[in-house]
Homo-oligomer: A and B are copies of this chain.
Amino acid sequence: MKKIITLSIALLTGVFSFAQQALWGGQEIVSPQINENNAVTFRLNAPQAVKIELTGDFLPTQKQETPFGTFEAPGVVTLTKNDKGVWEYTTPEPLSPELYSYTFIIDGVKVTDPANVYMIRDVASVTSVFIIGGDRADLYKVNAVPHGTVARRWYNSPGLNMTRRITIYTPPGYEAGKTEYPVLYLLHGAGGDEEAWIALGRTSQILDNLIAQGKAKPMIVVMTNGNAGQEAAAGEASEGFVKPSFMGATRMDGDFEAAFPDVIKFVESNYRTLKQKSGRAICGLSMGGFHSLHISKEYPDTFDYVGLFSAAIMPREGVQSKVYDNLEGKLKIQFDKKPKLYWIAIGNTDFLFKNNVDFRKLLDDKGYKYTYYETGEGHIWKNWRIYLSEFVPMLFK
């Protein structure tokens, strides 16, 4: 055998490496580079480019005027080119622990960093990401702890007349044991889907880490698709590689809330779950907060734990759905049954801040008990990861 076979592993490696570079321009550039002091250096090999800029959520924001008002937009910095054509920028200060997003701007075109394979998609935008560890951000990392299982499955929803994709996290040890677990239903916002909490929310990492630290009870986390018109996330449905659009299949017409028992039925007949109110929690961000509000009051005996994260609490005028009728009457029924936790979280610059102030006033006026958690900043995933990692430790105790 040895004689008739001549290629060596070294050659195999060489050919592949070359082929890859030739085909796709694999760059040996390191970017981003997290320096020892947690300042970060970004690099792009672009000898022929006229101008390379960088924008990211770690840069000081700048005011931007729009038809909807003045917004704080992430700043833009210009990189410096060296004599080899490599452009570079290092943050002047160390970055604090967080999962950060950025893109390069190559002669005016926003693109991900070709030297960084780690990206997240939010609706139709893809950005490069990196994590500065420490503090809470260590929850967002994969650590050397027992890991749960993440499964993408399909369930039948007679209520929406569709087979639908669903993402389910089961905690470490689930498969080997016989324990019945509590369940957290975790809902995404408009523009999201059953991938959003896993990809942008770092749910499996947060759960693995909180459970390993003994701060959270082992639980199942169910991430369904909250767009009543959609069977699955972008690229995962029979419609093909369609470009995702904000509110594309999102109807907010009450159908998703009305059909939610289909999800619970699927989960409770397919997993070892605690099938009582004290074993179920529901929470969601933005539209998912709105869904959580309505689902939890529509089925007042189902959830003992409710979380509204930056909830899009707003009337659905012109929408005919029993779900949205008689809100105050249904809230009374829900709160008379005393849920163990009704948790409202929002950032103080969120454009939905006033809606949440008004909703809390309604609850206050009625004497309904809830817990309020306010952070800085606005309607961003940074806050939703914080809210998830605050909410989960309070559940099922």
Interface residues of A (CB under 8 A from B): 1-2, 4-9, 11-20, 22-26, 30, 44-51, 55, 64, 66-68, 71, 73-74, 103, 105-112, 114-119, 121-127, 129-131, 133, 141-144, 146-147, 149-154, 163, 165, 172, 175, 190-191, 232, 234-238, 240-241, 243-244, 246-247, 252, 270, 312-317, 327-328, 351-352, 354-355, 358-359, 361-362, 379
Contacts and interface: CB of A to CB of B under 8 A. Distances in A.
Contacts of A133: 240
Contacts of A47: 108
Contacts of A154: 146-147, 149, 172
20 contacts: A5-B355, A8-B314, A11-B68, A15-B351, A16-B191, A18-B71, A20-B246, A22-B66, A23-B55, A24-B122, A25-B110, A25-B125, A49-B108, A109-B111, A111-B111, A117-B235, A117-B243, A119-B126, A130-B241, A154-B172
User: Within the oligomer, what is the number of copies of this chain?
Assistant: 2
A46 B4 contact: no
Nearest to A14: B68
B117 A24 contact: no
A13 B127 CA distance: 21
Nearest to A153: B149
A107 B110 contact: no
A18 B66 contact: yes
Contact of A315 (B5, B68, B109): B5
A112 B154 CA distance: 30
In this complex, the member of A111, A116, A163, A316 whose beta carbon has the largest number of chain B beta carbons within 10 angstroms is A111
